[in-house]
Amino acid sequence: MTSPTAPTATTTAPVRFATNPATGPAPGPGGGLARLGRETWILTRRSLTRIRNEPETLSDVTIQPVMFTLLFAYVFGSAINLGGPFGGTAAYHEYLIAGLFGLTVIGTLAGTAVGMTADMETGLIDRFRSLPISRSAVLAGRTVSDLVTNVLGLAVTAATGLAIGWRIHTGPVDALAALGLVLLLSYAVSWAGVCMGMVFRSAEAAQQAAFIIFLPLGFVSNAFVPTSGMPGWLQAFANWNPVSAAAASCRNLFGNPNPASSIDAWPMQHPEAYTVLWAIGVVAVFAPVAVYLYRRRARS
Amino acid sequence: MDLNGNAAIRVRNLHKAYGGHDAVHGVSFDVAPGEVFGFLGPNGAGKTTTIEILEGYRARTAGDVRVLGVDPGKPTRRWRERIGLVLQECELDPNLTIRETVGLFASFYPSPLRVDETIELSGLGDQADTRVGALSGGQKRRVDVALGIVGDPDLIFLDEPTTGFDPSARRGAWAMIDGLRRLGKTIFLTTHYMDEAQHLADRIAILRAGELVAVGSVDEIGAGLQADAVVRFRLPGGVTADDVGAVVARPVDLADDIVTIRCPDPQPVLYRLTTWAEQGAHRLDGLEVLRPTLEDMFLALTTARAEHG
């Protein structure tokens, strides 16, 4: 219970309220954007500090990617032959890693939504409303910290991939471009996750809704198998699925086998451009909606 | 009262309706800069609704509200910087330490108090590196208080700041609030503890069913209620209650040998009583004068009327 010594210390200690601007942050001279950036970074650090204090919450970007990689490589991969020039288990391992990168994009949805509902449930987000900070910084802090954890998840996936024979056959610029595309789209998807987190009242409900979206987008794609064997109507969905485009972009940029390059659909011919367009579109729609939902909570 | 709009808080004819029901019905009051203003009322009287409107958390249905000259329905960043909140219910991130939590909040204000000093002031100096999730309810409450003051605000809303405190922690919180008052901070305080309001507040408003039933200092409210002081002592041997009544020229109650005299002003009563006792060598055992407490007034204003209404 309460410490017996602390309160008495308060009663006897002289009350000194000397403010010390030196310990506080400089009230940034920069414009609104610089301030937004600073506030976003402080809130990002909050989320990251929280992870540092409870690292078990990171299992979705540490243990899970390893399990997913090994599961697909050795269980499903053992029975999958890409066919044609891409035959063999080694080729599937080369094919798989970019698919897992593509899966990260949509996996972000659940991560952000659950993180957001958790913050809403505790009332912390409501408490932030009283602070002299931009409304969008609170939400941007959430999405940026999810971006940081995604970097970790991709690094773990890549390391596991390297261990089972996946290689990058191009240069560092292409490899970084692939990483950048995946992070760009997953960052955009985080904003949709923020909206979900604010619409659903509990972390469980948000998790389940995100999973219902995750399954078709994650699996009806070229992430794990080429789309050419799917029924025609499913092929069309898979070829226009942004997860397929993200995976195909990575395969192109890593120099991994990419059977989708012979598919006539525009997204498969221009996966990088298609991925960027999706990222822009998702942010343009969901970031304003997220800010609107957040503001609306104050106006009851 | 300041008519030039310099009041720290100015509320005129505030209404808040939920559905068809008026939770707050035509409330008006002013809080002067540097004042500790106690806002009291039974549960469901509309206290929390009112404080949330003042804090900018809730929209009002009608009326005019200015907090530090700003309409809290249209808050500005500069305004938020000057206001500190201690919310009634606030779960903090359980995975951050006290120092991390207070530091986080401090980092959003242009000239915050020192983090360690704020934690010390809140009576949590020993636990600065403890995670919030490991704290007791009373300790978490003190973290809330630290978060409310760390921005060095001009106006502080304290919504039941000592709920769940043990008596010594409450005294510590009172000392801190006195310290804030000495620095010229304006404090808007809600509490369920009448002794707390009586000890801390310069003026008090009592809310009942969405309407103010009293505003003023404790003495002013007591005078308005014509609440009597009470003089009590054990009836001396060899005299009757009627003898005492004749001396003080007031009605006298007697129960279990204890004489009770109700009077608006106890001074003349005591003068007559003690003069009579000295001259007649009577012992007035256990003589005491009880001023009406805020709790008496609060109950008179809220319970009695509720029964009639």
Which of A56-60, A212-216, B32-36, B158-162 has the lowest average pLDDT? A56-60
B262 and B239 in a common domain: yes
Other Cβ atoms within 10 Å of A49 Cβ, number: 19
Residue A143 lies in a domain: yes
Q: Does B229 touch chain A (CB under 8 A)?
A: no
How far apart CA A193 and CA A113 sit, in angstroms, is 4
Average pLDDT over residues A147-159: 94
How far apart CA B270 and CA B237 sit, in angstroms, is 19
What total of structural domains would you count in chain A? 1
Angle between helices A203-219 and A89-122 (to 10 degrees): 160
Which of A18-22, A296-300, B19-23 has the lowest average pLDDT? A18-22
Q: Which of B199, B223, B247 is the last residue of a domain?
A: B223
Residue A222 lies in a domain: yes
How far apart CA A278 and CA A189 sit, in angstroms, is 9
Range of the domain at B100: 9-223
Residue A91 lies in a domain: yes
B158 and B64 in a common domain: yes
How far apart CA B17 and CA A9 sit, in angstroms, is 45
B204 and B167 in a common domain: yes
B171 and B92 in a common domain: yes
The per-residue pLDDT of chain A, averaged, comes to: 85
**Above 60 in pLDDT, residue A280?**
yes
Domain containing residue B247: CATH number: 3.30.70
pLDDT reported for residue A84 = 66
Q: Residue A1 — very low, low, confident or very high, per pLDDT cuts 50/70/90? A: very low
- Hey, which residues 133-192 in chain B have their CB within 8 Å of chain A? 136, 138-139, 147, 151-152, 165-166, 168-169, 171-173, 175-176, 178-180, 182-183
B248 and B159 in a common domain: no
B215 and B138 in a common domain: yes
Residue A211 lies in a domain: yes
Quick one: tokens of B251? 């009605």
B219 and B115 in a common domain: yes
pLDDT reported for residue A27 = 45
B122 and B14 in a common domain: yes
Residue A233 lies in a domain: yes
B37 and B140 in a common domain: yes
Contact call for residues B124 and B142 (beta carbons, < 8 A): yes
- Four-residue CA torsion sign, B78, A131, A29, A140: negative
B158 and B61 in a common domain: yes
Residue B1 lies in a domain: no
Across B141-173, b (16+ Cβ under 10 Å) vs e yields bbbbbbbbbbbbbbbbbbbbbbeebeebbbbbb
Average pLDDT over residues B34-60: 91
How far apart CA B55 and CA B49 sit, in angstroms, is 10
B186 and B86 in a common domain: yes
Contact call for residues A186 and A105 (beta carbons, < 8 A): yes
State whether A129 and B57 contact (CB < 8 Å). yes
User: Residue A75: CB partners within 8 Å, gap ≥ 6?
Assistant: none
State whether A11 and B114 contact (CB < 8 Å). no
pLDDT reported for residue A152 = 93
Q: With the CA atoms of A108, A109, A110 and A116 taken in that order, what torsion angle do they form, in degrees rounded to the nearest 10?
A: 100
Q: Residue B183 — very low, low, confident or very high, per pLDDT cuts 50/70/90? A: confident
Quick one: tokens of B97? 């330490």
Residue A20 lies in a domain: no
Closest C-alpha among B264, B118, B296 to residue B195: B296
Contact call for residues A193 and A140 (beta carbons, < 8 A): no
Tokens 């972390």 found at: A203
Tokens 């490899």 found at: A175
Kindly report the pTM of this predicted structure. 0.75
pLDDT reported for residue A298 = 56
- Hey, which residues 16-35 in chain B have their CB within 8 Å of chain A? none
Other Cβ atoms within 10 Å of B277 Cβ, number: 18
Q: How far is A57 from chain B (nearest CA, A)?
A: 11
Q: Which residues of A touch B171 (CB under 8 A)?
A: 7, 11
Q: Which residues of B touch A126 (CB under 8 A)?
A: 57, 90
pLDDT reported for residue A120 = 83
Tokens 């009806």 found at: A220
B151 and B241 in a common domain: no
Contact call for residues B247 and B273 (beta carbons, < 8 A): yes
Residue A6 lies in a domain: no
Tokens 């204090």 found at: A53
What total of structural domains would you count in chain B? 2
State whether B112 and A24 contact (CB < 8 Å). yes
- pLDDT above 70 coverage of chain A, percent: 86
Closest C-alpha among A173, A167, A179, A185 to residue A279: A185
Residue A113 lies in a domain: yes
Range of the domain at A215: 40-48+57-298
Domain containing residue B149: CATH number: 3.40.50.300
